[in-house]
Amino acid sequence: MKLYKKLGVIGAAAIVSFSSAVWAAPTFINVLTGGTSGIYYPLGVALSQLYGNNIDGAKTSVQATKASVENLNLLQAGRGELGFALGDSVAAAWKGDAEAGFKKPLNKLRLIAAVYPNYIQIVANKDANIKSLADLKGKRVSVGAPKSGTELNARAIFAAAGLSYDDLGAVEYLPYAESVELIKNRQLDATLQSSGLGMAAFRDLASTMPVNFVPIPKEVIDRIGNAAFQPGVIPAGTYDGQDTDVDTIAIQNMLVSQKDVPDEVAYQMAKLIFENLDYLRNAHAAAKAISLEKAVSTAIPLHPGAERYYKEVGVIK
């Protein structure tokens, strides 16, 4: 009888031990960003540190990617818990736009927060004499990584301006840093990139050589006919030698998760963003544009955990 009691105690202890092990299982949070010379990456690193230090049991990592399109496909495949993406790419992913890089609707995507806007920034070697979109004809231009959110933006903008890639002297499909190096070496005339203001690669270029920032007029935005594209301005002084405001397109960035992420984790993801804005602003000035009032978008459904947070703080009634 005593033996059975001992076995029972041992069995109970084993169950408790097993339950504790399950309860203590780590929460993996892989943050999907973009190229290391852009803005997604430093903000992704800051978020990873924030979550690792404040979410119990969190094991965080940061993955450099080709940004929006790749991030959304990785989230759908369960290979990430949080990713940065442009609003127009998010809408295309939810719909399943094959031309945009989404073979079928990505129905697992869930919104954590709309954050700061990206700005389409077209920078050119001043010696190339490119002052308008029409001046890009015959020039060597980089348009972002192939089938990236940036490259999709480039196609839409050029089409609305009456241009195609065939009108250009050469087309390169390169992200920020590589494009800037080729402009410095006089192997490219210009590049179109989508990023927050004050992007490091463009700051480096503008401090190295004289450049022009090419405006995108409102009539071009109107012709694109995409509600995600709004008029924006690159303020004078954002980059060295940029003495006047430059009209362009602004597109909201979003932090996207997926439905298999537990509600409590998604709740903490949203909460920690807005309780630590100063911390994120120290990581990059683009985070100054993040605000609780603009956090909710209708592009895709909110994650239930994030929705709970927005109800708590009164953003959602």
What is the CATH number for 32?
Answer: 3.40.190.10
Of 204, 222, 251, which residue constitutes the final position of a domain? 251
Whether the predicted model's global pTM rises above the 0.85 cut: no
Residues 6+ apart with CB under 8 A from 123: 183, 190, 191, 193, 202, 205, 206, 211, 212, 213, 214, 239
Closest to 193 measured CA to CA, from 237, 238, 140, 149: 149
How far is 110 from 90, CA to CA, in rounded Å?
Answer: 10
Encode the chain (317 residues) as per-residue pLDDT tens digits. 444 444 454 454 444 444 433 445 789 999 999 988 889 999 999 999 999 999 999 999 999 998 999 999 999 999 999 999 999 999 999 999 998 999 999 999 999 999 999 999 999 999 999 999 999 999 999 999 887 888 989 999 999 999 999 999 999 999 889 999 999 999 999 999 998 899 889 999 999 999 999 999 999 999 998 888 999 999 999 999 999 999 999 999 999 999 999 999 999 999 999 999 999 999 999 999 999 999 998 889 999 999 999 999 999 99
- Would residue 211 count as lying in a domain? yes
- Would residue 56 count as lying in a domain? yes
Residue 188, helix vs strand vs coil = coil
206 and 124 within one domain:
yes
- Would residue 99 count as lying in a domain? yes
177 and 133 within one domain:
yes
Residues 6+ apart with CB under 8 A from 25: 57
Cβ neighbours of 218 (radius 10 Å): 11
How far is 32 from 55, CA to CA, in rounded Å?
Answer: 18
Q: What share of the chain is helix, strand, coil (3-state, %, to 5)?
A: 45, 20, 35
The boundaries of the domain holding residue 69 are 27-116+253-312
- Greatest Cα-to-Cα distance within the chain, rounded to the nearest angstrom: 95
299 and 192 within one domain:
no
How far is 34 from 144, CA to CA, in rounded Å?
Answer: 12
82 and 46 within one domain:
yes
Residues 6+ apart with CB under 8 A from 310: 270, 295, 296, 302, 316
165 and 277 within one domain:
no
Q: Provide the Cα torsion 273, 276, 282, 288; round to 10°.
A: 60
134 and 231 within one domain:
yes
- Would residue 22 count as lying in a domain? no
